[in-house]
Amino acid sequence: MDFPIFYASHLPLFTLWFIFTYILGYFIIFKNWDNKYRSEAASCFMSLSHGTPALVLSILSILQSQNNIVQLDFTSPNTALQNLVLEHSIAYFLMDLFHYMVLIPGDVLFIAHHVASLYVLTTCRYLFGHGAVAILGILVLAEVTTSCQNTWSLSRYRKVDSEKAACVFGFLSPYFYAYFSVVRGILGPLYVYKIGLIFNSGVADGLIPRWAWISWIIVIVGGIGGSILWVMHLWIDLYRERKKKGLKKLS
């Protein structure tokens, strides 16, 4: 098995970019925000700078490398563009993991998510050199909700201090929850099931070790399960809040 050359990686450059976006968000864009949410807002800004480019480049790299979009070749060698997208995402998750470990160490769910994501991305990029089509497909499903999620998060942080933010949060919440539920609760599991079927057929033998793709599936399923639990709690909170408002109107 050939190992990609680390010194040819764009990872250091992307890491510097995400450091810059975080600093830009923290010290300039959100400098007047309450310290309680200032760092999280900077993290959202960094996420926005990652999500849309990752989404577009992932789709482009898959389209460029595949002859049949309906029947994707999940075991094909990683292309240069696919490796670039993987490195871009690795840099983002490294920086956001650092943010959580230093400033929000109690958020175990997000820390575990980022560590698991880094495991899948780095092994696909630097260890095996195959499987990027499958992994970037997962990245597409993850990042397609990013813009909406970060807008929702920013309005949630400001809803107490800003009436406009409160209106955005109230309006956006049910639509975001529904959108997130469909992508992570339906499309995600279907896509992972398809990956598992193809890998289990033996087509990846000799390219990606069985233990590797099984561990990928386990990590991804765990991530999807965590996302489903998260959005379920949000639905429950929304239901309780709407019920409480209804009772207040009646009283």
The 10s digit of each residue's pLDDT in 117-160 is: 999 999 999 999 999 999 999 999 999 999 999 999 999 999 98
Q: Sorting pLDDT into bands at 50, 70 and 90, what band is 29? A: very high
For range 151-172, the mean pLDDT: 95
DSSP E strands: which ranges in the chain?
none
Ranked by mean pLDDT, the top range of 63-72, 87-96, 237-246 is 87-96
CA atoms within 13 A on the CB side of 169: 17
Q: Give the model's pLDDT for residue 243.
A: 84
Model confidence at 195: pLDDT above 90: yes
Report d(CA 18, CA 33) in Å as an integer: 20
pTM: 0.92
- Give me the residues paired with residue 130 across strands: 77
Higher-confidence position of 249 and 69: 69
Cβ atoms of 129 and 2 closer than 8 Å: yes
Element (H, E) at 157: helix 146-158
Q: Sorting pLDDT into bands at 50, 70 and 90, what band is 245? A: confident
Higher-confidence position of 227 and 247: 227
Q: Sorting pLDDT into bands at 50, 70 and 90, what band is 1? A: very low
For range 169-176, the mean pLDDT: 96
Model confidence at 235: pLDDT above 60: yes
Q: Give the model's pLDDT for residue 34.
A: 86
Q: Give the model's pLDDT for residue 199.
A: 96
For range 32-46, the mean pLDDT: 93
DSSP assignments along 72-130, one per residue: --TTSBPPHHHHHHHHHHHHHHHHHHHHHHHH-TT-HHHHHHHHHHHHHHHIIIIIISB
Model confidence at 82: pLDDT above 90: yes
Model confidence at 109: pLDDT above 90: no
Q: Sorting pLDDT into bands at 50, 70 and 90, what band is 251? A: low
Higher-confidence position of 244 and 237: 237
Higher-confidence position of 242 and 191: 191
For range 191-210, the mean pLDDT: 95
For range 196-215, the mean pLDDT: 95
Q: Give the model's pLDDT for residue 7.
A: 52
Q: How is residue 26 written in tokens? A: 């923290």
Model confidence at 2: pLDDT above 60: no
